[in-house]
Amino acid sequence: MTSETTECNLSTSERLPLAGLLALATSGFITILTEALPAGLLPQMGSSLNVADAMVGQLVTLYAIGSLVAAIPLTSATQGWRRRRLLLLAIGGFAVVNTVTAVSTSYVLTLAARFLAGVSAGLLWALLAGYASRMVAPALQGRAIAVAMVGTPLALSFGIPLGTLLGTVVGWRYTFGIMTVLTVGLLGWVVAAVPDFPGQGQGRRLTLRHVFLMPDVRTILSVTLLFVLAHNILYTYIAPFLLQAGMGGQVDRVLLVFGLTALVGIWLIGALIDHWLRALVLASIALFVIAGCTLGFAGTSPIAIYIGAGLWGLAFGGAATLFQTASARAAGEGADIAQSMIVTVWNAAIAGGGIIGGLLLDHLGTTVIPWAATVLLLCALMIVVMASGSGFTRMPRNG
């Protein structure tokens, strides 16, 4: 069977190819784990590499920088590559860099490995949504992307805490080694379950400028930036916020509530997105606004803070699916380029959240954190409301 026939059969199927989509989800799971594990293993890694904890923190920073600078140029340069080969290359990059991280005794070498891990992540995230959407009929594209994105909340809710616990028990080097073994297994899974697709022919390739100038794409990028920036201001500084509320010892429980409701959020998004994309975007932003106000007014009330965290997780859980589905739909054949822009904006928002939140914390205190997030979200809500004729449109029905 040719790849063209395979693509045709997949795109007209009324079923979700779960084995392939879950392989994509697992790649996202491993990506998030690779990114965040150093944050949970700071003391062990710092002691082993003979550097301060703050220097180990830069391993996360270099990862984000790698994704930020690589996503757009790599995605643009590889438009003509066959998709599965490119996917395997991105996943294989994690096997290499996690192996280097596991055996390295040099802080500089580890930094370089982390940067290259970020490069692999930037390419992978740019591929996932477009890949998932090509595996199904148009009426199932949103649901397929939701399945492919489920690895992110799973990693945040369970993978990172379990990875941190594993690192404490067996050591951080063995933990990264186990990550390599899992990644090698994933490569086999992808070969067995994920179909191949051709790259874009020379005449069909869209330039970065062409995709960026699409009005819908710019709208989606703007809303993504504001939404993710709001999230990261709050997420990065949730510990000091809880400390001033007298809940400094409950950070893990608050984040567990956030993670569990995020899973509910992505399930709801996956079930409804193919027919209610715009309404879900509006609802997610509005719910996040309510969560921000709840946390802002909470004071020292644990009940209010837990409610706010639950609403926040529910609003954020399906955000990546919403924005990536919207951008894939808006960009058409430029979907992978649009996804690379989403990746770049997302990582810029992560960095911006740390910087802006830190400035707010230093100059205005912790109580302003949820209100700053709320202001950004209100701006995002206004953009979506005003963009009634473009962006975040309803997904098509099959046939």
Q: What are phi and psi of 83, to 5 degrees?
A: -65, -45
Domain stop point among 159, 179, 204: 204
The mean pLDDT value for 305-333 works out to 88
Residues in the chain: 399
Domain stop point among 204, 229, 258: 204
Asked whether residue 3 carries a pLDDT value surpassing 50, the answer given is no
Which positions ≥6 away from 357 have C-beta within 8 Å? 232, 233, 234, 236, 237, 369, 372
Interatomic CA distance for residues 114 and 36, integer angstroms: 11
- Residue of higher predicted confidence among 155 and 206: 155
pLDDT reported for residue 285 = 96
Interatomic CA distance for residues 155 and 151, integer angstroms: 6
Structure-token pair, residue 245:
């509320």
Is 392 among the domain residues?
Answer: no
Asked whether residue 116 carries a pLDDT value surpassing 80, the answer given is yes
- Alpha-carbon distances of 180 from 42, 143, 232, 316, rounded to whole Å: 20, 29, 28, 29
Interatomic CA distance for residues 281 and 276, integer angstroms: 9
Asked whether residue 12 carries a pLDDT value surpassing 80, the answer given is no
- Residue of higher predicted confidence among 88 and 360: 88
What's the sign of the alpha-carbon dihedral 253, 255, 258, 260?
negative
Token pair 């070969």: residue: 191
Percent with pLDDT over 90 in the chain: 39
Of the given ranges (7-16, 52-61, 389-398), which has the lowest mean pLDDT? 389-398
The terminus-to-terminus CA distance of the chain in angstroms comes to 25
The mean pLDDT value for 257-273 works out to 87
pLDDT in tens, 93-111: 999 999 999 999 999 999 9
- Alpha-carbon distances of 258 from 36, 234, 308, rounded to whole Å: 17, 12, 9
What is the number of domains present in the chain? 2
Indicate if 44 and 106 belong to the same structural domain: yes
Interatomic CA distance for residues 146 and 127, integer angstroms: 14
Indicate if 31 and 153 belong to the same structural domain: yes
Q: Which domain holds residue 258?
A: 208-386
Indicate if 22 and 93 belong to the same structural domain: yes
Q: Determine the 3-state secondary structure of 29 from DSSP.
A: helix
Indicate if 245 and 192 belong to the same structural domain: no
pLDDT reported for residue 202 = 59
Indicate if 60 and 155 belong to the same structural domain: yes
Domain stop point among 181, 204, 227: 204
Indicate if 100 and 70 belong to the same structural domain: yes
Q: Determine the 3-state secondary structure of 137 from DSSP.
A: coil
Question: Residue 8: exposed, middle, or buried by beta-carbon count in 10 A (0-12, 13-18, 19+)?
Answer: exposed
pLDDT in tens, 320-373: 889 988 887 887 777 778 888 888 888 888 878 878 888 888 888 888 999 999
pLDDT reported for residue 280 = 93
Indicate if 260 and 159 belong to the same structural domain: no
Give the domain CATH number at 235: 1.20.1250.20
pLDDT in tens, 223-246: 999 999 999 888 878 878 888 888
Indicate if 162 and 215 belong to the same structural domain: no
